[in-house]
Amino acid sequence: MNLVFKALSDPTRREILRLLRERDMTAGEIAARFNLAKPTLSGHFAVLREADLIQSDKLGTTITYRLNLSVLEEAMCLFLDHFGLALEPRPRAAKPKDAQS
């Protein structure tokens, strides 16, 4: 879990995860969203892979990244559990009286 929180501690890595939440992306597509040198981004990808938050596939010279959401969800659940915070289901909003039948 320490690797996950280390990965999440950086705003650039959090933004990469947010982008990957929308869809799988190539390294080039992700790099186009940042004003960072490619070696810097490669370092961020390495940290995210080490924490198992992302997975990658290489086809030729193209690397495509995808979010490993189950690891992120597990880390968040463990974090909440550690502090005794349980996720309670939100109560459903009541329907307006004219919509009830």
Helix, strand or coil for residue 56? Answer: strand
Instruction: Give the pLDDT confidence of 33-91 residue by residue, as tens digits.
Output: 999 999 999 999 999 999 999 999 999 999 999 999 888 888 888 888 888 886 665 56
Edge-to-edge strands, sheet with 25-26: 25-26, 62-67, 54-59
Task: Using the predicted structure, report yes or no on whether residue 96 has a pLDDT greater than 80.
Answer: no
More confident residue, 32 or 92: 32
- Tell me, what's the pLDDT at 85? 81
Higher confidence at residue 94 or residue 66? 66
3-state secondary structure 9-51: CCHHHHHHHHHHHHCCEEHHHHHCCCCCCHHHHHHHHHHHHHC
- Under the banding of pLDDT at 50, 70 and 90, the label for residue 30 is very high
